[in-house]
Amino acid sequence: MSDEQRNTVWRFAIIFIIILLGFIAVIGKIIYIQTVERNEWMKVAEKQVPTYRSITANRGNILDCNGQLLASSMPQYNVYMDTRVPALHDNNGKLFKEQIDTLCLDLARIIGDHSAAEYKARITRAYQQGESRLKVCDNRINYLQRSELEKNNLLKMGKYKSGFLFEDQHRRIKPYGILASRTIGSIYGEGGGGNSGLEKRFDKELRGEDGVGCNQRIGGRREFVTIQEAKDGLDVVTSIDANLQDIVENALLTRVKEKNAKWGCCILMETQTGHIRAIANLDRADDGEYYEMQNHAVQRVEPGSTFKTIALVAALDDGKIDIDDTVSITSEPWIYMRKSKHTDAHKMDTVLNVRNALAVSSNIALAKLITRSYEGSAHKFVRKIQKMGITDSIYCEIPGAEKARIDIPKDTVTLSKMSYGYSVELSPMQIMMFYNAIANNGKMVRPMLVTGIERDGDAVKSFKTETVKSSICSNGTLRDIQGALHDVVWDNHLGTASVLKWEGRIIRKKAQSDLVHIAGKTGTAQLFIPGQGYSGKRHRITFVGYFPEENPRYTCICMIEDPQYPYDAGTDCGSTVRNIAEKTMAYSGYYIYKDGEKILEKR
């Protein structure tokens, strides 16, 4: 081997040995770290683990049919200040001293929960004590206040120099206040899920999907980094018209206040589509004022005389009676099977045909007609009503909606009471749905509160009108019952919703209007008082009708619980529906109408 070759071998050997010693050193260091320094490095590692935090998605809006906000999540901000940021302490605190007075003047002007001097004292004290999270103002501020505050010279420098941080939280608001408040519903606290109403029914759609972020150390500072963006909730589009809702709610509020009633409920529905344009529920609170507290629209009650129409449709369509059949009534009670006593509010000794019996709302006449038709076969009466669709399990967007209760009676005595609305229970929504079918040429449609789901104005899902029954009865029965409902309002001699007379003179119109023709039915039911039975002095009064009668566009029901005497279903509920009908048709462009003024134009 030559000297040159020998030198080359030595060079490679030295290099190999150096590399080998390096590997040995690295392995030794690893062993040393894993054994001797393990606990120390594990503590360091724990500090470096990012802290993950959920990013709450913005809750979707609830809109009326015109796109106006009924419920929305509005941003509000807590204002914090980290007084330890280096920029505020550099050059002996030059920046802080220069900006503190202007800052506090702006805080007092824009937020206003403290004076400028108080703000200066609080911030200066926190600055001297080195507070890292001073809550600058007691209450949250809105977006406009934040925008105005960010114009301040110090805040323009950013959070790393000013120390200011805005922590946002979304608050659910209802721009129209109590309008349809119970139907819209509420959420649990701030940022919680739906608690009632549409907020609860469509909570999944409204809630959206939360994102994920974490705090990481970047460039010597800890920064919050978004890993997955939050997906905001969808918007729920309702059939409610905020303008019609205002009309309905004000009309109902005026009446329940006047009668000092326990509660009142009023619903306005579009006849052909089933779209609920307005729904109002008002309860009297302990302070004597009325608020949206319960959704009576979907809670079942004994309907009273509004059920007479349902009973007559069943008997007429079964061929048990004819519209021209007659029945005698007296001013004295009618005792049926020595067990059941039936009386009329409008006492008279006469003979009525079926149409007149409904117009005058005779309990005696209906009890006689229905027992005569179904005595011994009460199950056929109930099954006929069930076939008309009113007891079907109808989907309703309002949580807690109750099913109708119309059970097969065990005896004919119960049947006689059922004929005019006792021993049965229906919600105002279900009563209105049946009368709407009469207005809609026999076609029963489901009442709808939600017409679609949207994201940023683009449709995600649409809901179409759902037909419950294509026809509730024959065309002949429909014409007969429509004529009878016309007489309820327009027969000045018999109609319970026509006019109020005194000594033979008309002193007030009930559901009659010079502007729009209404047809419908009154209902009065005695209240059942637990432990006392039915009260002859406390009632639930109702009027349900449709308009304009010639070509129905809307159906409306008004129900008032326990009004103060004197009261009358036609006078109180009928006139309320009349006021709603007149203003609704004016709003729809049928004519121009103003309170206390003449008609300016008919269209």
Q: What confidence score (pLDDT) does residue 600 get?
A: 46
Query: Is 566 a residue whose pLDDT tops 70?
Result: yes
Residue 573 structure tokens? 């509920």
Degrees to nearest 5, angle at CA 543 with 538 and 549: 170
Same topology between domain 51-68+175-238 and domain 242-602: no
Average pLDDT of 554-561?
A: 98
Q: What confidence score (pLDDT) does residue 572 get?
A: 97
Degrees to nearest 5, angle at CA 268 with 266 and 271: 145
Confidence of residue 556 (pLDDT cuts 50, 70, 90): very high
Average pLDDT of 201-217?
A: 83
Question: What is the separation of C-alpha 524 from the centre of its chain, rounded to a whole number of angstroms?
Answer: 28
Give me the residue spans of the domains in the chain: 51-68+175-238, 79-174, 242-602
Q: What confidence score (pLDDT) does residue 421 get?
A: 95
Query: Is 55 a residue whose pLDDT tops 90?
Result: no
Q: What confidence score (pLDDT) does residue 230 get?
A: 82
The backbone torsions φ and ψ at residue 178, rounded to the nearest 5 degrees and listed phi first, read: -80, -5
Question: What is the separation of C-alpha 105 from the centre of its chain, rounded to a whole number of angstroms?
Answer: 43
Average pLDDT of 452-477?
A: 94
User: How far from 331 is each of 354, 363, 417, 493, 523, CA to CA, in Å?
Assistant: 18, 11, 18, 17, 20
Query: Is 25 a residue whose pLDDT tops 60?
Result: yes
* pLDDT tens-place string over residues 406-437: 999 988 889 999 999 999 999 999 999 999 99
* pLDDT tens-place string over residues 536-545: 889 999 999 9
Distance CA 563, CA 533 (A): 18
Angle between the N-to-C axes of helices 3-35 and 38-48, in degrees from 0 to 180, rounded to the nearest 10:
70
The residues that bridge with 81 in the sheet, in sequence order, are 134, 164
Q: What confidence score (pLDDT) does residue 603 get?
A: 44
Please state which architecture CATH assigns to domain 51-68+175-238. Alpha-Beta Complex (3.90)
* pLDDT tens-place string over residues 93-119: 999 999 999 999 999 999 888 899 999
Give yes or no for a contact between 418 and 409, defined as CB atoms under 8 angstroms apart: yes
3-state secondary structure 349-382: CEEEEHHHHHHHCCHHHHHHHHHHHHCCCHHHHH
Q: Which residue has the higher pLDDT, 348 or 573?
A: 573
The residues that bridge with 263 in the sheet, in sequence order, are 283, 561
Give yes or no for a contact between 106 and 152, defined as CB atoms under 8 angstroms apart: yes
- Mean of pLDDT over the chain: 89
Topology of 242-602 in CATH? Answer: Beta-lactamase (3.40.710)
Distance CA 92, CA 84 (A): 13
Query: Is 597 a residue whose pLDDT tops 60?
Result: no
Question: What is the separation of C-alpha 390 from the centre of its chain, rounded to a whole number of angstroms?
Answer: 23
Q: How many CB atoms lie within 10 A of CB 144?
A: 9
Q: What confidence score (pLDDT) does residue 238 get?
A: 96
CA-based nearest residue to 554, from 246, 271, 274, 243: 271
Q: What confidence score (pLDDT) does residue 337 get?
A: 84
H-run or E-run covering 26:
helix 3-35
Residues 6+ apart with CB under 8 A from 298: 396, 398, 400, 401, 402, 427, 428, 429
Which residues in 412-447 are b (16+ Cβ under 10 Å) and which e?
bbbbbbbbbbbbbbbbbbbbbbbbbbbbbebbbbbb
Give yes or no for a contact between 508 and 499, defined as CB atoms under 8 angstroms apart: yes
Confidence of residue 212 (pLDDT cuts 50, 70, 90): confident
Average pLDDT of 555-578?
A: 96
Give alpha helix (H) positions in 351-501: 354-360, 363-374, 378-387, 412-418, 428-439, 475-490
Query: Is 262 a residue whose pLDDT tops 80?
Result: yes
Give yes or no for a contact between 290 and 284, defined as CB atoms under 8 angstroms apart: yes
Distance CA 519, CA 359 (A): 11
Beta strands in 219-338 (DSSP E): 221-228, 235-238, 263-270, 276-284, 290-291, 326-329, 334-336
Residue 193 DSSP code: -
Give yes or no for a contact between 154 and 102, defined as CB atoms under 8 angstroms apart: yes
Q: What confidence score (pLDDT) does residue 36 get?
A: 74
Q: What confidence score (pLDDT) does residue 48 get?
A: 59
Q: What confidence score (pLDDT) does residue 33 get?
A: 75
Average pLDDT of 484-488?
A: 97
Query: Is 236 a residue whose pLDDT tops 60?
Result: yes
The residues that bridge with 306 in the sheet, in sequence order, are none
* pLDDT tens-place string over residues 340-362: 889 998 889 999 999 999 999 99
Q: What confidence score (pLDDT) does residue 37 get?
A: 74
Distance CA 102, CA 82 (A): 18
Pairing of strands 235-238, 62-63: parallel
Confidence of residue 45 (pLDDT cuts 50, 70, 90): low
Confidence of residue 73 (pLDDT cuts 50, 70, 90): confident
Q: Which residue has the higher pLDDT, 283 or 216?
A: 283
Predicted TM-score of the model (pTM): 0.81
HSE of 496 in the Cβ direction (CA atoms, 13 Å)?
33
Is it true that the peptide bond before 303 is cis, omega within 30 degrees of 0?
A: no
Question: What is the separation of C-alpha 6 from the centre of its chain, rounded to a whole number of angstroms?
Answer: 96
Residue 589 DSSP code: T
